[in-house]
Amino acid sequence: MIELRDAHPLLRTWSEDGVFHLDVRPLLEHGGEPYVYIMDCVNQLDIGDAIVVHALFEPRPLMAQMARMGFDTRSERIDEEHWALHISAA
């Protein structure tokens, strides 16, 4: 089970159907940097686990980094300023 350690108060997290969700949009809106929190979650992924990062834009550099680390990724545009990045351990 993924647990976000030392979470920033602007981050929102929840689990749904066994998938951990990390909403970094409020942090981004206030000029914060979510990378350390995203990596905290990613580093806890086990085979079969998945997380969804909710962001204001399509995080292509993060997708490329996750692919280099061996994770499966796909992005999904929810609306104009809401993208969901699905990350799973293969």
What span, in angstroms and rounded, lies between the C-alpha atoms of 10 and 64? 26
**CATH assignment of the domain containing 72:** 3.30.110
Q: Report yes or no on 1 lying in a domain.
A: no
Mean pLDDT, to the nearest integer, of 41-54?
94
The band of 42, judged by pLDDT with boundaries at 50, 70 and 90, is very high
Task: Please give the full DSSP string across the chain, using - where no structure is assigned.
Answer: ----TT--TT-EEEEETTEEEEE-HHHHHTT---HHHHHHHHTT--TT-EEEEEESS--HHHHHHHHHTTEEEEEEEEETTEEEEEEEE-
Q: Report yes or no on 22 lying in a domain.
A: yes
Q: How is residue 84 written in tokens?
A: 């969901």
Query: What was the pLDDT predicted at 90?
Result: 77
Domain span including residue 33: 12-89
Of 64, 69, 56, 60, give the one whose Cα is nearest residue 29: 56
Q: Report yes or no on 2 lying in a domain.
A: no
Into how many domains does the chain fold?
A: 1
